Structure 1
Amino acid sequence: MIDLDDIDRALVLALAKDAGASAGALGRQLGLSQPACWRRIQRLREMGVFRKPRLDLDLEALGFGVTVFLGVKLATKGRVSLEDFERAVSAIPEVQIVEHVLGAFDYRLRVVARDIPDFERVLRRRIMTLPSVGRVEANVVLTEERRPGPL
């Protein structure tokens, strides 16, 4: 665990709300000079507090109106089958997130598609043909509420 002081925690929270905020604006908000704030942001990056920056895309605006969480139980298990499955599923562009989980399923996938027929195509032609896929359960997302920022 990384040791953060109160200013570091306030900086992380402020950046979670607005990742594009300038060091000058953040510094004014936290009572720091722009250079001091910039140095703290750089230090937090070097410590690994921040992952690489990403765009937060509006998938629906781009034509992907369906999001499905897919539980996948592998038919066979073992290190080789896990690695083969992970490598193969990661190559499918519609699969946005791959999580190896404990419980009823071995993996949880976040899959986006244009519509339900498009999801069915991805499921039948891409996911169900992957190595070691056994049982699959789909949960279609109806609405999504995002809670930005750290816990």
Structure 2
Amino acid sequence: MIELDTIDRKILRALAEDATQSAGALGRRFGLSQPATWRRIRRLEEAGAIAGRQLDLDFAALGFGVTVFLGIKLAAKGRVSLEDFERAIMAIPEVQTVEHILGAYDYRLRVTARDIADFERVLRRRIMTLPGVGSVDANVMLTEERLPGPLG
């Protein structure tokens, strides 16, 4: 685990809000030079505190107005391997995340679709036909709020 000081935490919070900010802009904001800020960011990346930077798409603006969270319990019969299931489910483009979890379900999926009819098509033709799928529980997302995380 990396030791974080106040400036490290501020840099992480700022990058979590907008990962496109330059080291120079962050340095000016927090009273550091561009090279000093860049070294801090590099140290955070090398320590694994920054695992990468990603592009967040607005699915609704792209025509995907429905997000559904699925809980999937694999069937006991047939004993499909977890790797085979994961490989098959990740090949479905509408599936945005696949989480192997402990609890009532074996997997939690985030699925995006154009509308409910499109989601039903994905569910019936792609997800339910996969080998090993036992039961499925669906929760339609109404709204989403993002929190900055536990950076203190």
State TM-score, norm by structure 1: 0.92
Match of 2:135 in 1: 135
> Letter of the aligned partner of 1:34 in structure 2?
Q
Q: Deviations over 1:58-80 (max 9, x none)?
A: 10011100000000000038996
Structure 1 spans left out of the alignment, 5+ residues: none
Aligned to 2:149: 150
- Gap change, CA 1:28 and 1:91, over 3 Å in 2: same
Contact conserved, 1:67 with 1:141, CA < 8 A, in 2? Answer: yes
CA shift in 2, pair 1:78/1:131, >3 Å: closer
Distance in 2 separating the partners of 1:37 and 1:125: 50
Q: Within 5 Å, which residues of 2 pair with 1:73-84?
A: 73-76=73-76, 81-84=81-84
Q: Would the aligned equivalents of 1:81 and 1:131 in 2 still touch at CA under 8 Å?
A: no
2:111 paired residue number: 111
Deviation of 1:30 (Å): 1.7
Cα RMSD, aligned residues only: 1.8
| Unmatched tracts of structure 2, length 5 or more | none
For residues 36 and 57 of structure 1, the distance between their equivalents in structure 2, rounded to whole angstroms, comes to 31
Q: Distance in 1 between matches of 2:137 and 2:51?
A: 30
Q: Once the two structures are superposed, what CA deviation does each residue of 1:36-87 show, in whole Å capped at 9, x if it has no partner?
A: 1011111211222112222111100111000000000000389962111111
Deviation at 1:32, TM superposition (A): 1.0
* 2:15 partner letter: L
In the other structure, the counterpart of 1:121 is 121
Query: Which residue pairs with 2:4 in the alignment?
Result: 4
Identical counterparts, % of pairs: 73
Q: TM-score, normalising length from structure 2? A: 0.91
1:82-137 per-residue CA deviation (whole Å, 9 max, x = no partner) reads: 11111110111100000111111111000000011110110011101112100001
Question: How do 1:55-66 residues align onto structure 2 when only pairs under 5 Å count?
Answer: 55-66=55-66
